[in-house]
Amino acid sequence: MLQLCLSWLGLGPVAASPWLLLLLVGASWLLARVLAWTYTFYDNCRRLQCFPQPPKQNWFWGHQGLVTPTEEGMKTLTQLVTTYPQGFKLWLGPTFPLLILCHPDIIRPITSASAAVAPKDMIFYGFLKPWLGDGLLLSGGDKWSRHRRMLTPAFHFNILKPYMKIFNKSVNIMHDKWQRLASEGSARLDMFEHISLMTLDSLQKCVFSFESNCQEKPSEYIAAILELSAFVEKRNQQILLHTDFLYYLTPDGQRFRRACHLVHDFTDAVIQERRRTLPTQGIDDFLKNKAKSKTLDFIDVLLLSKDEDGKELSDEDIRAEADTFMFEGHDTTASGLSWVLYHLAKHPEYQEQCRQEVQELLKDREPIEIEWDDLAQLPFLTMCIKESLRLHPPVPVISRCCTQDIVLPDGRVIPKGAHSLRGRSLLGSKREHQGEVTSGFYSLLGRAQKLHRAGVRHG
Ligand code: HEM
């Protein structure tokens, strides 16, 4: 039997079994890890001291609950940005500091850093992973660059132009519904809900060429997407459910998983069906014919795209990109449009000016439809949309985690590993708007849905 000398601990020699040795090695490793983590944590705290922070609510929860997803929360955040216009630090729990950067000069070093130095922060985006996989929003490094290049043709105006017909049709369905509801006596409508269905309807047609009629009758697939978006937002607020193990034990976690399966099955089925009909040669002619007879949808573009080496996207990649577009495309545009309506409702004189501009453009036209070239002929409406997006951006913040120290213009340093949220729209915007535009940061992944609803109702 091995003799282990523990005289340095004041103990005599003890018989060391392999298990005891293993235990000692394990305990030393654990101790070393804890010490290293503690050192890094205190070092980071020291380095982050130069960023101001509001008083904590509680030593353990830190600033959790300080900014709630309510109008009261919006006001609190507006106040915070007024008090700390450059940026500030919040604690999400006892060991998780988060930098909120507000001023354009402070944000710039991160926005101009490479994707390797300031990659997307998976702590905030990670809850979307089981749903969106490695699509553009969540992927990084070489995969992201390759896919980004491969997807560029999807935004060519020749591909986008025919979508105008789809948008017109989806909007007409929504308007008819509003007219019907108004004539039946509905004095108030939750615009965000209706507009979300309209954007989802449009996307389902543009991405999959699928008509679910979701604006008129319930659709399982669309309900699952709405449910998934809501679950991700809700989980974001519940710090105890941030670990997958606990989350998937809860009823919400299980429903999230079921909804993911449903959405994936739908996308997979479309991909498989389309692969069966895709020609193996003469793709150029196929594309020309298809573009003539029918809109080329996003799945077509993904199936046909190749990288520089002639490699195609896998089915899994295609699914991730299509699911990402369904998510990214519906919530952003629905909230943007809801806020435009809110602002026009608050400013009837500008509303009237927009109406006159559109009516002038469409006079004597049959059918009464906005076409692609009209978009450049509506300067006042365009300005109103842009101003609304500036005041209430659908994605008020984006989140990054730095892999290297980043030096700010005032000499302060964001230490490697720090998580930062940036009020995206603050780039170039005036200070008096800072409170408003950052006010949705707590619902980062829910794209401030609650704020939109609150805003539109109060309009
Ligand atoms: C008003 C409408 C929209 C706004 C305000 C908006 C905003 C944003 C922002 C801020 C990001 C960057 C996120 C980050 O870097 O962390 C982003 C990324 C993205 N958006 Fe949008 N978006 C809008 C509409 C759309 C639409 C309609 C689609 C697709 C149909 C879309 C697809 C994407 C995709 C795929 C990404 C990831 C891009 C990448 O990382 O390469 N977005 N969007």
The fraction of the chain above a pLDDT of 70, given in percent, is 85
Res 442 pLDDT > 80:
no
Question: Is residue 269 situated within a structural domain?
Answer: yes
Question: Is residue 377 situated within a structural domain?
Answer: no
Query: Ligand 1, residues 332, 388, 397: which to mutate, most atoms within 8 A of Cβ?
Result: 332
Residues 323, 448 share a domain:
no
- Stretch 62-74: mean pLDDT: 83
175: CA distance to ligand 1 center in Å?
A: 26
Atom of ligand 1 at shortest distance to CA of 394?
5
Residues 279, 135 share a domain:
yes
Question: Is residue 382 situated within a structural domain?
Answer: no
Query: Ligand 1, residues 132, 327, 339, 395: which to mutate, most atoms within 8 A of Cβ?
Result: 395
Residues 222, 168 share a domain:
yes
Residue 96 one-letter amino acid: F
192: CA distance to ligand 1 center in Å?
A: 19
**pLDDT value, residue 284:** 63
Cβ(333) to ligand 1 under 6 A? yes
Cα of first residue to Cα of last residue in the chain, in angstroms, is: 82
Cβ(119) to ligand 1 under 6 A? no
Question: Is residue 317 situated within a structural domain?
Answer: yes
Question: Is residue 381 situated within a structural domain?
Answer: no
**pLDDT value, residue 157:** 86
Residues 250, 177 share a domain:
yes
Residues 192, 254 share a domain:
yes
Residues 230, 244 share a domain:
yes
Cβ(77) to ligand 1 under 6 A? no
Cβ(136) to ligand 1 under 6 A? yes
Residue 446 CA to residue 435 CA, distance in Å, equals 19
The confidence band for 230, taking pLDDT boundaries of 50, 70 and 90, is: very high
Residues 238, 180 share a domain:
yes
Range of weakest confidence among 37-46, 89-98, 120-129, 437-446 = 437-446
Cβ(398) to ligand 1 under 6 A? yes
328: CA distance to ligand 1 center in Å?
A: 6
5: CA distance to ligand 1 center in Å?
A: 63
Q: What CATH number did the domain enclosing 197 receive? A: 1.10.630.10
Cis peptide before 367 (omega within 30 of 0): yes
Q: What CATH number did the domain enclosing 59 receive? A: 3.30.43.20
Atom of ligand 1 at shortest distance to CA of 400?
16
Res 447 pLDDT > 80:
no
Of 276, 300, 128, the C-alpha closest to 207 is 300
Structural domains counted in the chain: 2
207: CA distance to ligand 1 center in Å?
A: 15
Q: By alpha-carbon position, which residue is closest to atom 15 of ligand 1?
A: 398
Residues 129, 106 share a domain:
no
Residue 154 CB: number of other CB atoms within 10 A? 19
**pLDDT value, residue 57:** 84
Residue 49 CA to residue 276 CA, distance in Å, equals 60
Question: Is residue 368 situated within a structural domain?
Answer: no
Query: Ligand 1, residues 328, 399, 421: which to mutate, most atoms within 8 A of Cβ?
Result: 328
318's enclosing H/E stretch is: helix 315-346
- Stretch 248-275: mean pLDDT: 96
Cβ(394) to ligand 1 under 6 A? yes
Residue 225 in tokens: 């997407």
Pick from 278-282, 297-301, 337-341, 422-426 the range whose average pLDDT is largest. Answer: 337-341
Residues 312, 194 share a domain:
yes
Residue 408 in tokens: 């700010």
12: CA distance to ligand 1 center in Å?
A: 67
Angle at 140 between CA 155 and CA 426, to 5 degrees: 70
- Stretch 94-114: mean pLDDT: 90
- Per DSSP, the three-state class of 51 is coil
Last-in-domain residue among 342, 364, 385: 342
Residues 221, 138 share a domain:
yes
Q: Could you tell me how far CA 301 lies from the centroid of its own chain? A: 23
Cβ(328) to ligand 1 under 6 A? yes
**pLDDT value, residue 2:** 60
Are the beta carbons of 297 and 209 closer than 8 angstroms? Answer: yes
Residues 170, 277 share a domain:
yes
Question: Is residue 138 situated within a structural domain?
Answer: yes
Cβ(324) to ligand 1 under 6 A? yes
Residue 33 CB: number of other CB atoms within 10 A? 10
Atom of ligand 1 at shortest distance to CA of 399?
16
Residue written as tokens 């609190």? 76
Q: By alpha-carbon position, which residue is closest to atom 29 of ligand 1?
A: 329
Residue 393 in tokens: 């951006």
Residue 294 CA to residue 444 CA, distance in Å, equals 37
Question: Is residue 24 situated within a structural domain?
Answer: no
- Stretch 416-437: mean pLDDT: 45
- Stretch 19-30: mean pLDDT: 90
Residues 320, 225 share a domain:
yes
Cβ(424) to ligand 1 under 6 A? yes
Are the beta carbons of 136 and 319 closer than 8 angstroms? Answer: no
Atom of ligand 1 at shortest distance to CA of 393?
5
Are the beta carbons of 323 and 140 closer than 8 angstroms? Answer: no
Last-in-domain residue among 327, 342, 357: 342
Expressed as residue numbers, the domain containing 288 is: 124-342
Res 226 pLDDT > 50:
yes
What's the chain's average pLDDT?
84
Alpha helices (H) along 49-103: 71-83
pTM: 0.82
